[in-house]
A and B are shown apart, each in its own frame.
Chain A
């Protein structure tokens, strides 16, 4: 942790970056995101097992962008977020300095996104066992059971959109659900409205989700909605061989095509 604080201090002193996005303490032994702009505040940075939020969500936030160039304390999911955001033209290679933390908890600084890509070749963050277990259980359900499972879960949704807000890939200035002329999906929290929202969210993240699980952690009702996007990523990988967040230049899985596509309708 000292290493991180010292490096953040240096970077701010040398004006290499304008803000360090990291984790700090809040009340009751909890962790919150901090935005360090003065070298002397670098001591407020912490990093331990309590630091689970994917800070990548702040890279596209108006007020944070306003500070100038950021360095970001990045878990492996956050590193994938940065690469994916770059491939979607939301951040630039020289626009973000990645202060990475490996799965083993070691600090590694990445001067370029290419170096992050190389690091990713060693493997991404594993999906937690609890999630794999539930995914496997859902796979074994009949269609009717699956329908019942998701109906039961989704009726708890109040449409607070914490899933959308916490997702670093949901950076649209205006989300499709916020359009009312025409209104694409039902706005209120009803059976159909909730179902439409979560299906649409999963589809919009297919091939883009970096499997950080932030949406599921954010949900005040503990609905395992992250499994929907995990599943959508898995399908995108199976169908198109594309894994999000491993490349800063990969074209969008669902809005690009290849001449050698296995389907012949494209030719």
Chain B
């Protein structure tokens, strides 16, 4: 369904969502970076930005969260307190980019394959995504090489594309989106026929992710993995800003009588990520870890979960402390 949301209606829309009891996340300037934060005041939302430093994945997949708690009673019986979906508030994300929306679909594919991850599903189901299309891009953006574009609708409940006068061309895409529309019906007007493409950022196509996918079937032992990763210092900066990286660690914190189990982000770039109890590490050196990163995103995920693990946001390149440029490496693979 197509509607028009006037710029002048946005603040009322925001306040309505607050009144409707939603927790709202939107891009905010923290003094150094634009980050998605809980927003209480409409004025804090930054609309004129290209992409946030961290992706929106943290809203559905926090960097740290408790899975269950346990307490040993006086008679030594154990009381288990499982994760409860009730602890998750009804949430609306405003202003994420289309690539981030697709990133969350990639997480969904991972967390809901086989046994669904309860906390992820609870957060995903209770979150609505009002995405805003990109009218600007930067040098590290490559969504168009990843099968997407600055106005992709996948993963969004409502996609807003800025048009003349700061008004928004609104595409209502899902049931969640329809519910938001119905609760705020007076603010969404009928829209004239519009070609939204003319408002979108132009992002040059640099490679084809389907070719990369094919290539990876035959180049597992290629020398390029060592060559590309010599400069890699093995931190997790790329993984933590990536909207589609889903690796986590599971640990316990215990004080003898009670404790809890939690999940926290982890990265395949870390040296001890795959270390076995025996001490053996199947991915002993950085080149094997870098190869894993590329294979997971471009080979294993498309095969297993039918989605790519890279949406082309370019954040890994943005933050890499040693200027590894994923586009350069993917272009190299594309040309092998």
Interface residues in chain A, defined as those with a beta carbon under 8 Å from any beta carbon in chain B? 26-28, 30-35, 53, 57-58, 61-64, 156, 158-162, 164-166, 173-174, 178, 180, 183, 186-190, 193, 214, 217-222
- Cβ of A212 to closest chain B Cβ, rounded Å: 12
Given A33-B231, A158-B63, A62–B285 Cβ distance below 8 Å? yes
Q: Complex Cα distance A31/B328, Å? A: 13
**Lowest 8 A-B CB distances belong to which pairs?**
A218-B321, A165-B235, A188-B264, A220-B319, A188-B64, A162-B235, A160-B236, A165-B233
- Across the interface, name the chain B residue whose C-beta is closest to A178: B272
Comparing B19-27, B194-202, B237-245, the segment that makes contact with chain A is B237-245
Contact B230–A220 (Cβ < 8 Å)? no
Contact B235–A63 (Cβ < 8 Å)? no
Contact A63–B30 (Cβ < 8 Å)? no
Chain B, 217-234, contact with A by CB distance < 8 Å: what is the 0/1 string? Answer: 000000000100111011
Q: Complex Cα distance A187/B139, Å? A: 35
- Across the interface, name the chain A residue whose C-beta is closest to B239: A160
- Across the interface, name the chain B residue whose C-beta is closest to A174: B272
Given A62-B286, A178-B272, A220-B53, A188–B328 Cβ distance below 8 Å? no
Known: A193-B64, A220-B53. 14 other contacts (CB 8 A): A27-B325, A30-B325, A32-B324, A58-B231, A63-B229, A158-B63, A159-B265, A161-B236, A162-B237, A164-B235, A187-B249, A189-B265, A214-B321, A220-B237
Among A35, A165, A180, residue most surrounded by chain B Cβ atoms (within 10 Å): A165
Q: Complex Cα distance A17/B115, Å? A: 54
* Chain B interface main SS type: loop
Let me know if B267 is at the binding interface, CB within 8 A: yes
- Cβ of B289 to closest chain A Cβ, rounded Å: 11
Q: Complex Cα distance A176/B137, Å? A: 41
Chain A residues positioned under 8 Å from B253 (CB to CB): 186
Q: Interface size of B by Cβ–Cβ distance < 8 Å?
A: 42
18 contacts between A and B (CB under 8 A): A28-B140, A32-B325, A57-B233, A63-B226, A63-B230, A158-B54, A159-B236, A160-B240, A161-B235, A162-B319, A166-B322, A178-B272, A188-B64, A190-B64, A218-B321, A220-B237, A221-B33, A221-B53
- Cβ of A222 to closest chain B Cβ, rounded Å: 5
Chain B residues positioned under 8 Å from A57 (CB to CB): 233
Q: Complex Cα distance A32/B326, Å? A: 12
Given A160-B236, A160-B237, A161-B235, A221–B32 Cβ distance below 8 Å? yes
Q: Complex Cα distance A156/B240, Å? A: 12
Chain B residues positioned under 8 Å from A61 (CB to CB): 230, 233, 286
